[in-house]
Amino acid sequence: MQEEIDLVISEPLAGSVQYEMFRGQRNGWAMARCLVFMVFLVSCLISTVGLPVEPADEVAMQLGGVGGGRLSVEPSDLTEASRDFGRLTMSEPLAVFHPRGAEDVAALVKAAYASPGGGIRVSARGHGHSISGQAQAPGGVVVDMSHGWRAEAAERALPVYSPDLGGHYIDVWGGELWIDVLNWTLAHGGLAPRSWTDYLYLSVGGTLSNAGISGQAFHHGPQISNVYELDVVTGKGEVVTCSESNNPDLFFGALGGLGQLGIITRARIALEPAPHRVRWIRALYSNFTEFTADQERLISLQHGSRRFEYVEGFVVAAEGLINNWRSSFFSPQNPVKLSSLKHHSGVLYCLEVTKNYDDSTAGTVDQDVEALLGELNFIPGTVFTTDLPYVDFLDRVHKAELKLRDKGMWEVPHPWLNLFVPASRIADFDSGVFRGVLGSRTAGGPILIYPMNKHKWDPRSSVVTPEEDVFYLVAFLRSAVPGATDPAKSLEALERQNREILEFCDEAGIGAKQYLPNHKAQREWEAHFGERWARFARLKAEFDPRAMLATGQGIFDSPPLLAES
């Protein structure tokens, strides 16, 4: 699920009343500054790339020429660009740019780069699923990538077979949603990308700027390990095509690069034949050592018919099993009874695996699953299974989203914390966090835990992972519901727990690394990257020398605000 950090120019605003006050106080002068800014920026565009411009109204202008991108200061656009899924920070840009293609993005960035005073802040925004303001551009321009190049179905690229690659691929726009990529490739050849995130309503460029992980990553690697080629608009406004053999520094630097080296406008994604159906299985554990030993054994298996295609897990309090939103799987309608849990209290661990099949393998799927489960050490009587179409499994979180939206529990603060934890210290993490900081409670939302194989991650990418052959994702995907009667579910309590978890990891020397990292100072970023920092800083200086891009991450010193320059 995409991901980023923010150095805001004002204090974070958590409540809707505060936000309306914020909007009311700033609206007048913000619009005036926007108007000045737009005249300035359009002048730069005219002088830099020769774009013809005509005024649309007093607060917006159409950019003609290359593709017809539109610069907007409409209040609705500014409001949308000032917030994200996390709802933890709000930083309003001066304008929002709607490109139709890579040329428009390049023209905007080139003009920003050429502007006097150190450049103008520019951040790409997919569909707003960042957590901590990473795609925000306070006092700058947010590039709305959600519609460009996606215009007409007839203009979209079809899957292509490459003899050199030994498989199919598809070229997609950086702002495309993964769910749309899936539906398109299924409809044109029965194909699908190999590696996924749990939630498909994320943009391609967003997940590739982080890593893109789910339960398939142990076998296929993250999404960034399943890309053949990129088009990237650098901080100089240049559209650069890059791959492992062509401009490799930019290619690997942009993959997992948190948007620091450029804006991904096109990605060439590896495809495979999509299975038809999925056997979805969950089993419960009370012993953490047995749980992780079984997970690590499963990700070590290589033979196709004798391995699961997806391996994840999550942590849940025994008494909250039925009420947990990921646990609709364990519904009262499930024929397997939960009576086997009556002697278990405190923390339970749920293994979640799948076996893909189609018509040709349907006759052996039962045998394959039985053989694999027979070697595991879950609590007897706690295996829960269901069969469903492959697409329905991949889109499972969206169904949970719709339920939460109906209850008014989706558009709330999400103080998420994602960590990569070395396998050698995962038991210490369990005792110190699950049974320590959390006190055997899992209030607020799901806590995922599953291992991955490091050899499936290309070390040339910008992603930072622990230096061990196996490491775990531990994801605290919790929501703060306003007005909750349980104080443990308040935003303040969840953020305090996040700090305590990070402090424990630091004091205990766990060696964890944040995924979708959220650091507040450059020294923290330097510690995050470790020995990779020098290379990352060098690439930043080469491809975004004015440090204009993705300033919401707060990694490098940003250009001054327009009013300050």
Q: What are the structural domains, with CATH classification, of the chain? A: 160-273 (3.30.465.10), 277-514 (3.40.462.10), 522-547 (no CATH)
19 vs 45 pLDDT, higher one: 45
Q: Is the pLDDT of residue 56 over 50?
A: no
d(CA 304, CA 294): 18
Residues 6+ apart with CB under 8 A from 342: none
Q: What integer pLDDT is reported at residue 444 of this predicted model?
A: 84
pLDDT tier for residue 26 given thresholds of 50, 70 and 90: very low
Compute the average pLDDT of residues 196-202: 97
Nearest to 157 by CA among 9, 266, 11: 266
On average, the pLDDT of the chain sits at 85
Compute the average pLDDT of residues 330-350: 62
Residues involved in catalysis:
129, 198, 312
> Is the distance from CB of 142 to CB of 123 less than 8 angstroms?
yes
Q: What integer pLDDT is reported at residue 482 of this predicted model?
A: 81
CB-neighbour burial class of residue 77 (10 A; exposed 0-12, middle 13-18, buried 19+): buried
Quick one: DSSP state of residue 530? Answer: G
Q: What integer pLDDT is reported at residue 339 of this predicted model?
A: 56
Q: Is the pLDDT of residue 9 over 90?
A: no
In Å, what is the CA distance from 350 to each residue of 138, 145, 316, 450? 42, 37, 8, 10
In the block, which residue shows the tokens 């150095």?
7
Q: What integer pLDDT is reported at residue 342 of this predicted model?
A: 60
pLDDT tier for residue 266 given thresholds of 50, 70 and 90: very high
Q: What integer pLDDT is reported at residue 485 of this predicted model?
A: 81
Compute the average pLDDT of residues 291-301: 98
Compute the average pLDDT of residues 548-562: 86
Most confident of 68-72, 114-118, 346-350: 346-350
Q: State pTM to two decimals.
A: 0.87
- Tens of pLDDT, residue by residue over 426-449, are 999 999 999 999 987 877 889 999
- Tens of pLDDT, residue by residue over 397-406, are 999 899 889 8
Most confident of 33-37, 440-444, 464-468: 464-468
Q: What integer pLDDT is reported at residue 561 of this predicted model?
A: 67
